[in-house]
């Protein structure tokens, strides 16, 4: 194999990881073979093993790449919408759009497979934990900035709120997979906005003062 520059190696690794992800989404990672990945990535088995030791390492790389994409999404939203609350709204819109991507259900099935495998594989579980923590920390960073700028109350725990947002997103994905017609992401997002704005509780109007007449 000809000697490649570091940036060329990094680019080829990304291409192989994306090819593996497409195969995993299409067939499930247990059913996907390295030969299938090689065909998808247009690479020989020998070439594949030059970059990755095997399918297990590719699975970990797919998880890490998904986390890096989520973190980059947060950075892009923050750069496009300097105000933290606006950035969070932008992220909500992008996540909402993700529900309607053609491979949304298949991507959720793949995550379920990976999470299930992680419960049996400590090394993979550690990668999953690190990836989710990176995503959570990027969301918490935007919330923390909103607190510092006085947009959110300083009583909020940025990490706890970030965990809540991620749990809601994960739950919505699973809900859509188990019952596609039972969950309307837009309605859930509207309900979440009402909750964040404190609009769920009805405050009775004060009774008018009694008349002296």
pLDDT at 205: 67
Phi and psi angles of residue 118, each rounded to the nearest 5 degrees, phi first: -60, -30
Quote the CA–CA distance of 183 and 14 in Å, as a whole number.
34
Instruction: Note whether 63 and 114 are within 8 A (CB).
Output: yes
pLDDT at 212: 58
The confidence band for 4, taking pLDDT boundaries of 50, 70 and 90, is: low
For 140-151, the DSSP string reads HHHHHHHHHTTS
* Nearest by Cα to 21 from 95, 114, 91, 101: 114
pLDDT at 140: 92
pLDDT at 129: 93
pLDDT score of 209 more than 80: no
**Can you say whether the dihedral through the CA atoms of 12, 13, 18, 24 is positive or negative?**
positive
Higher-pLDDT residue of 99 and 166 is 166
Phi and psi angles of residue 103, each rounded to the nearest 5 degrees, phi first: -100, 20
pLDDT at 210: 58
Q: What is the mean pLDDT of the chain?
A: 86
**Do 1-52 and 55-194 show the same overall fold?**
no
pLDDT score of 163 more than 60: yes
Give the mean pLDDT of 1-14. 79
The confidence band for 193, taking pLDDT boundaries of 50, 70 and 90, is: confident
Phi and psi angles of residue 157, each rounded to the nearest 5 degrees, phi first: -95, 110
The confidence band for 111, taking pLDDT boundaries of 50, 70 and 90, is: very high
Give the mean pLDDT of 176-189. 86
Q: To which CATH superfamily is domain 1-52 assigned?
A: Homeodomain-like (1.10.10.60)
* Domain definitions of the chain by residue range: 1-52, 55-194
pLDDT at 70: 84
The confidence band for 38, taking pLDDT boundaries of 50, 70 and 90, is: very high
Q: To which CATH superfamily is domain 55-194 assigned?
A: Tetracycline Repressor, domain 2 (1.10.357.10)
The confidence band for 6, taking pLDDT boundaries of 50, 70 and 90, is: confident
User: Where is average pLDDT lowest: 7-21, 86-100, 132-146?
Assistant: 86-100
Distances, alpha carbon 69 to alpha carbons 16, 34, 113, 135, 152, in Å: 16, 24, 20, 9, 26
pLDDT at 125: 93
């Amino acid at each position: 194999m000809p000697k490649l520059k570091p940036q060329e190696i990094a680019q080829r690794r990304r291409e192989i990881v994306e090819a593996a992800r497409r195969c995993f989404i299409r067939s499930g990672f247990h059913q996907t073979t390295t030969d299938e990945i090689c065909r998808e990535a247009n690479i020989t088995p020998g070439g594949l093993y030059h970059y990755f030791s095997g399918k297990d390492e590719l699975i970990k790389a797919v998880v890490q790449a998904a986390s890096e994409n989520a973190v980059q999404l947060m950075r892009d939203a923050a750069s496009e919408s300097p105000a933290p609350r606006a950035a969070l709204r932008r992220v909500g819109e992008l996540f909402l759009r993700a529900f309607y991507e053609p491979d949304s259900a298949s991507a959720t099935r793949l995550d379920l497979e990976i999470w299930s495998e992680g419960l049996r594989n400590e090394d993979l579980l550690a990668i999953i934990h690190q990836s989710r923590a990176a995503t959570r920390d990027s969301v918490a960073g935007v919330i923390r900035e909103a607190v510092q700028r006085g947009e959110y109350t300083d009583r909020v725990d940025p990490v706890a709120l970030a965990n809540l947002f991620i749990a809601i997103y994960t739950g919505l994905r699973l809900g859509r997979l188990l019952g596609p017609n039972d969950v309307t992401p837009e309605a859930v997002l509207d309900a979440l906005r009402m909750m964040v704005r404190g609009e769920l509780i009805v405050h009775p109007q004060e009774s008018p003062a009694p008349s002296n007449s």
